[in-house]
């Protein structure tokens, strides 16, 4: 489905990003994995991509820093010659009730989860415009749609990503670039592993399909949105949440 395509996955070292990197590779894409801290985990994902017969590149970049992002995209274009797919997946949480939330926790989450998406989108736009085509897929969250106590920073950033998705979709459509968002519900990753068993049971009870999602549940949707089959879809948000949010 994606033979000959080159993908960039931010936060591709673990969790949803790792599953997305492997699914893109299985579909035939070469993958550049952008990671912030854990080189070993990023190399591990890269080696799994190579096991699928695809090329892999590991690049350290903090997506909240424009210079890091620009250098990373340049490296991908210089190594692979093009960039067809950007998956804006990297994200962090710094949860607290609004009364106790520190300004630095607000800034860190907004800088990574929203400004980072802006920097990465901006950086791939020029090469994608030259190629007259591309796919940008932003990983938001259903809590960006419905809110979640203790996550004012995170939900504001994830809601912002949805606005950014709609605007960039309209701006870039004439260049053959589609921009869509995936909004995961509760997914089994390191991000949710830290939560206690009672919290996880509480989450499961809210999910009509009665289980937490797997990273692969998100990855399959990302591959579809990256494919030619999704060529007439842009500016949309697809909730992948076991039926939790239906409006």
Crossing angle (nearest 10°) for helices 15-26 and 215-226: 50
152-172 vs 116-131: helix axis angle to the nearest 10?
A: 20
Beta pairing class for 56-60 and 85-88: unpaired
Q: In what order do the strands lie in the sheet with 30-35?
A: 56-60, 30-35, 6-10, 85-88, 134-139, 177-184, 237-240
Residue 16 or 57 with smaller CB distance to ligand NAD: 16
Select 10 or 125, whichever has its Cβ closest to ligand NAD: 10
Find the binder of ligand NAD among 80, 106, 119, 186 (CB under 6 A).
186
Residue 11 binds to ligand NAD (criterion: CB under 6 A)? yes
Q: Number of residues in contact with ligand NAD, rule: CB under 6 A?
A: 29
Q: Which of 54, 189, 234, 239 binds ligand NAD (CB under 6 A)?
A: 189
Q: Is 154 considered catalytic here?
A: yes
Q: Does the footprint of ligand NAD cover residue 184 (CB under 6 A)?
A: yes
By CB under 6 A, tell whether 29 contacts ligand NAD: no
Judged by CB under 6 A, which stretch of 1-9, 24-32, 83-91, 223-231 contacts ligand NAD? Answer: 83-91
Among the options 80, 154, 186, 224, which is catalytic?
A: 154
| Residues β-bridged to residue 181 | 138, 237
Give backbone dihedrals phi and psi of 142, rounded to 5 degrees, phi first.
-65, -25
Distance CA 38, CA 52 (A): 22
3-state secondary structure of 176: coil
Tell which positions 40-79 bind ligand NAD, by CB under 6 A.
Answer: 62-64
CA distances from 148 to 83, 96, 141 (A): 35, 11, 11
The binder of ligand NAD chosen from 10, 125, 151, 239 (CB under 6 A): 10
Which residues are the active-site residues? 154
The residue ranges that bind ligand NAD (CB under 6 A) are 10-11, 13-17, 34-37, 62-64, 89-92, 112, 116, 139, 141, 184, 186-187, 189-192
């Amino acid at each position: 489905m994606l033979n000959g395509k080159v993908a960039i996955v931010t936060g591709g070292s673990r969790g949803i990003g790792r599953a997305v990197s492997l699914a893109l590779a299985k579909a035939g894409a070469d993958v550049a994995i952008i990671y912030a801290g854990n080189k070993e985990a990023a190399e591990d994902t890269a080696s799994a991509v190579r096991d699928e017969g695809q090329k892999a590149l590991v690049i350290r970049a903090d997506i909240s820093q424009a210079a890091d992002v620009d250098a990373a995209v340049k490296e991908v274009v210089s190594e692979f010659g093009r960039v067809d797919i950007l998956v804006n997946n990297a994200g962090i949480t710094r949860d607290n009730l609004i009364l106790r939330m520190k300004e630095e926790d607000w800034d860190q989450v907004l800088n990574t989860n929203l400004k980072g998406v802006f920097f990465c989108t901006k950086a791939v736009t020029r090469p994608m415009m030259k190629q007259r085509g591309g796919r940008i897929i932003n990983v938001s969250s259903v809590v960006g749609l419905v809110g979640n106590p203790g996550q004012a920073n995170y939900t504001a950033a994830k809601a912002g990503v949805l606005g950014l998705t709609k605007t960039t979709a309209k701006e870039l459509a004439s260049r053959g670039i589609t921009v869509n968002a995936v909004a995961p519900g509760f997914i089994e990753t390191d991000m949710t592993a830290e939560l206690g068993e009672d919290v996880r049971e509480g989450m499961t009870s809210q999910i009509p399909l009665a289980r937490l999602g797997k990273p692969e549940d998100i990855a399959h949707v990302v591959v579809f949105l990256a494919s030619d089959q999704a060529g007439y879809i842009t500016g949309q948000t697809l909730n992948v949440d076991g039926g939790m949010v239906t409006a």
